[in-house]
């Protein structure tokens, strides 16, 4: 019996979670647009980025863990 290679469902699950985190995605995108013209290099969207990915991670973690068992 030949074992199949494991499949990483993380990207698929995260993509499915994105609509549930739409407000965070919009906030990050708005920030990114706002700082495009920053010539100092000091502006950043770190807070919005982490908020967005925390939402996606929270949504995705249960399904990812269920698929790995």
Portion of the chain with pLDDT greater than 90, in percent: 58
Per residue in 21-56, pLDDT (tens digit) is 999 999 999 999 999 988 898 999 999 999 999 999
What are the structural domain ranges in the chain?
A: 22-68
Q: Are the C-beta atoms of residues 35 and 49 closer than 8 Å to each other? A: no
Q: Give the mean pLDDT of 14-18.
A: 90
């Amino acid at each position: 019996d030949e074992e199949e290679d494991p499949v990483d469902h993380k990207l698929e699950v995260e993509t499915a979670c994105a609509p549930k985190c739409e407000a965070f995605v919009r906030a990050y995108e708005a920030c990114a647009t706002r700082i495009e013209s920053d010539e100092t290099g000091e502006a950043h969207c770190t807070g919005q980025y982490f908020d967005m990915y925390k939402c996606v991670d929270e949504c995705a973690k249960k399904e990812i863990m269920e698929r790995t068992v």
